[in-house]
């Protein structure tokens, strides 16, 4: 069982639904992995991409990791039963010869390929990714729906408060009960954004805020003091992800839930966050991105490590906002997932026709991840001829 071809294409992605709004030149990598397994007269092809918020990783994929997968003997990529690809074995092939550390970029390249390999493996097995993942990790059969929240709320360059109110009201109309917005401009502006957004939801306890790692110690403490009276759902990504001292100091001053981990990518970094970041296992949230953490395979290691240290599975709410995260949450029995209803086309929202009901989203039931059920995403992949 072999991988016979791999392609990568870089595309732009934006934080905004309005294409006229600048979004920092963000890009991502689309990846297709073609196997030598045939179904219905066609080779099984897995699809993946490099999530959002970083940048495309075409050079690393094409020059470093794809050649390792293409060069390996086919039998070593099959599972023990020989019935489908083994993503864990494929991951070991990609990481062969890599030194510890260096998690800033290569983890995203590996993660994009890993996503496509899991997609192909589930397609070969003829089942949704969530079902394959649950079986491979010894979990119960996955649920059909998972809790979700709407991610977005990026500052608009003009008319911010009115546009923010409309955005969050749209999320509520879609069936979301919780949402997350960005903060970090200045305390007065942040407070107004929170008030406007919370009015579109059942209350501020249904709203999370994300500082996108902007604050130093003084700014983080000031933000914590300002946020305290709102009783928010959580306060996310306070400071530089490796500034564990600041993270711990803010946590000590802010009794409400904190979320962290989006910008950390390895088991080693997850251990450091747990040991030195001041997080409380009874209330705080872990938002590691499965695609950025050396893929789902690496993310499984993070979940295993932190649950063994006492973290509940319900604390994990993967970052990303796309269909892949729904399978990860269902298959691993985690707390819930982010969905991006408007941002980061072509991967925004759910599968075509899917609906949010009471803050829960359906997990796609097609074999694999189900990108084929998402017209916008599928058109992007098909542009490669996949």
Active site amino acids:
182, 319
Cβ of 56: how many Cβ atoms within 10 Å? 23
Please give the DSSP secondary-structure letter assigned to residue 335: S
- Phi/psi at 57 (nearest 5 deg)? -125, 40
> For residue 307, how far is the Cα from the chain centroid?
19
Q: How many residues does the chain have?
A: 386
- Report the C-alpha gap between 280 and 210 in whole angstroms: 18
Neighbouring C-beta atoms of residue 75, cutoff 10 Å = 10
Handedness of CA 321, 326, 329, 332 (dihedral sign): negative
Cβ count near 167 (within 10 Å): 24
Contacts of 275 (CB under 8 A, 6+ apart): none
Token code pair at residue 267: 């088991």
Which residues touch 124 (CB under 8 Å, ≥6 apart)?
Answer: 35, 37, 39, 44, 83, 84, 85
DSSP state of 29: E
Structure tokens of 14? 């934006």
15 is written with which tokens? 């934080």
Instruction: Select from 219, 210, 205 the least CA-distant residue to 253.
Output: 219
Helix (H, G, I), strand (E, B) or coil at 254: coil
E runs forming strands in the chain:
3-12, 27-39, 42-49, 145-151, 179-182, 207-210, 234-236, 258-260, 285-286, 337-339, 360-362
**Beta strands, E only, 50-200:** 145-151, 179-182
């Amino acid at each position: 069982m072999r991988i016979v071809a791999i392609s990568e294409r870089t595309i732009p992605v934006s934080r905004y639904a309005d294409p006229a709004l600048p979004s920092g030149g963000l890009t991502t990598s689309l990846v297709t992995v073609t196997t030598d397994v045939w179904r219905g007269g066609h080779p099984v092809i897995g699809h993946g991409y490099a999530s959002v918020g970083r940048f495309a990783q075409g050079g690393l994929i094409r020059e470093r990791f794809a050649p390792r997968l293409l060069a390996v003997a086919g039998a070593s990529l099959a599972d023990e039963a020989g019935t489908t690809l083994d993503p864990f074995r494929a991951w070991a092939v990609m990481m062969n010869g890599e030194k510890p550390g260096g998690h800033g970029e290569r983890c995203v390249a590996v993660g994009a390929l890993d996503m496509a390999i899991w997609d192909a493996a589930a397609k070969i097995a003829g089942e949704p990714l969530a079902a394959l993942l649950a079986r491979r990790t010894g979990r119960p059969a996955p649920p059909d729906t998972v809790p979700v929240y709407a991610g977005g709320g990026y500052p608009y360059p003009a008319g911010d408060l009115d546009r923010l109110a409309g955005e969050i009201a749209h999320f509520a109309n879609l069936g979301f009960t919780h949402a997350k917005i960005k903060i970090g401009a200045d305390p007065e502006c942040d407070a107004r954004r929170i008030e406007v957004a919370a009015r579109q939801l059942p209350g501020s306890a249904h709203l999370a805020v994300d500082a996108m790692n902007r604050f130093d110690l003084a700014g983080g403490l000031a933000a914590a003091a300002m946020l305290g009276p709102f009783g928010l759902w959580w306060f996310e990504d306070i400071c530089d992800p490796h500034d564990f001292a600041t993270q711990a100091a803010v946590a000590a001053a802010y009794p409400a839930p904190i979320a962290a981990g989006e910008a950390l990518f390895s088991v080693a970094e997850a251990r450091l966050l747990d040991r030195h970041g001041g997080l409380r296992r009874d209330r705080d949230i872990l938002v590691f991105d499965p695609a950025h953490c050396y893929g789902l395979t690496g993310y499984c290691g993070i979940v295993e490590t932190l649950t063994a240290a006492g973290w509940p599975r319900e604390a994990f709410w993967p970052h990303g906002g796309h269909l892949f995260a729904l399978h990860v949450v269902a298959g691993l029995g985690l707390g819930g997932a982010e969905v991006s209803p408007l941002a980061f086309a072509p991967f925004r929202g759910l599968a075509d026709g899917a609906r949010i009901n009471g803050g829960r989203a359906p997990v796609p039931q097609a074999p694999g991840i189900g990108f084929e059920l998402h017209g916008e995403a599928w058109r992007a992949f098909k542009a490669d001829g996949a």
